Amino acid sequence: MPRWPRIAIGAVGAALAVPAGYLLCALVFGLVPVNAGFRSAVDGVPVFVRTNGIHAELVLRTDAAGVDWSRDHPATDMKALASPQAWIAFGWGDRAFFANTPTWADLDARTALVALSGSGDGAMHVEYIRAPDIYRGREVRLSPAQYARLVEYIRASFARDARDAPPHRLPDPGYFDTDAFYAAVPRYAFWFTCNDWVRRGLAAAGVRAPLWSPFDTAIFFQLDRL
User: Nearest-CA neighbor of 87 among 47, 58, 129?
Assistant: 129
CB atoms within 10 A of CB 78: 21
Helices (H) and strands (E) in the chain, counts: 6, 10
Q: Which helix (H) or strand (E) element contains residue 220?
A: helix 217-223
204 φ/ψ angles, rounded to the nearest 5 degrees: -65, -35
One pLDDT digit (tens) per residue for the chain, 226 residues: 455 554 544 444 455 566 788 889 999 999 999 999 999 999 999 999 999 888 999 999 999 999 999 999 999 999 999 999 999 999 999 998 888 766 555 556 565 565 555 567 899 999 999 998 777 799 999 999 999 999 999 999 999 988 788 999 999 999 999 999 999 999 888 889 999 999 999 999 999 999 999 999 999 999 999 9
For residue 97, give every residue at least 6 positions away whose Cβ sits within 8 Å of its Cβ, in sequence order, or none.
111, 112, 114, 115, 120, 188
Measured CA to CA, the distance from residue 177 to residue 24 in angstroms comes to 40
User: Nearest-CA neighbor of 48 among 160, 179, 207, 177?
Assistant: 207
Strand partners for 136: 51
Instruction: Give residue-wise pLDDT tens across range 143-200.
Output: 999 999 999 999 999 999 887 889 999 999 999 999 999 999 998 888 899 999 999 9
Gyration radius from the chain CA atoms: 19
The amino acid at residue 188 is Y
Question: Is the preceding peptide bond at 171 cis, omega within 30 degrees of 0?
Answer: no
Q: Phi/psi class of residue 118: alpha, beta or left (left: φ > 0; alpha: ψ in -120 to 50)?
A: left
CB atoms within 10 A of CB 11: 10
For residue 206, give every residue at least 6 positions away whose Cβ sits within 8 Å of its Cβ, in sequence order, or none.
35, 38, 142, 146, 149
